[in-house]
Chains A and B, each alone.
Chain A
Amino acid sequence: MFIIKCPYCGERDVTEFSYGGDATRAYPQDPAQATPEDWHAYVYERDNPRGWHVEWWQHSQGCRQWLKLRRNTLTHELGRTALPHEPLSPDDDEGSDA
């Protein structure tokens, strides 16, 4: 149970959000040139960290915007949230506003 800080709406209960999975996976930059190995890595492979994880959430019961959240999968501690285009890494603990 936790409270996520939506960049648009502020702090809201987790039940307002839908989970979108690992946000560190990168869609192949040039899909036409991507090899089957590139697609396999994007679609199927996961770091699945036991610790800090950057993940997609959608504020589906609120503003319906997607956001990135840095969250610890072992302790459920929350780090900061970011807009989709902003970089956010599992190691990034700067600017924590949670």
Chain B
Amino acid sequence: MDVLNVEYMLGLVPVLLRYLPLTLQLAGIGMVFALILACLFAVVRVLRIPVLNQLTIVFISFFRGTPLLVQLFLFYYGLPQLFSALTVIDGITATIMGLTMHFAAYMAESIRAAIVGVDRSQTEAALSIGMTNGQLMRRIVLPQATRVALPTLMNYFIDMIKATSLAFTLGVTELMGATQKEAAGSFLYFEAFIVAAIMYWIVVEILSKLQNYLEIRLNKAYSR
């Protein structure tokens, strides 16, 4: 076994760091859209809004039931074939669309469970003072459900950050794509990918710390 080329690895760090922002953007934007979509889905499911409820069930079933990579290829290669206007979809857009819908499908279910878990008396109290359904969701139920759903939602976010690496298959040069190119040029595959792996790992660790902090903050109202 050859000795690791540490010098190469250290030199690679600043090179790959330039692509980290794109990875974080893909995940960040994907997460924001996925959260919005998941909340809408969850509310539709909880209130059993006719038609929308059935559509949501099919949507969730499809995006949970098929691989993310297949979905990305559908958005990137498949849609432009059907609708020529969609040829403007680039790899970054297709990745964000795929991540959004895939993770929204998962998160909708955990948000729905958290909403259902909020005590019925909270809803009744909100109704009794004359709040509309929208107001009681926004001000009372969702904030309480957030606390319950937070740990699983953070898990999905962590998963999403790692899933951005699939974007390289759509020709997006994010952290994974850049690593692939560097490795192909130097033939030092192990060194290149271990540097990339450590970068993902550090990002995820920072997020875990953030999760702890948020959980403590959200639990403030519930401790004696």
A and B together in one complex: no
Binding site for A on B (CB under 8 A): none
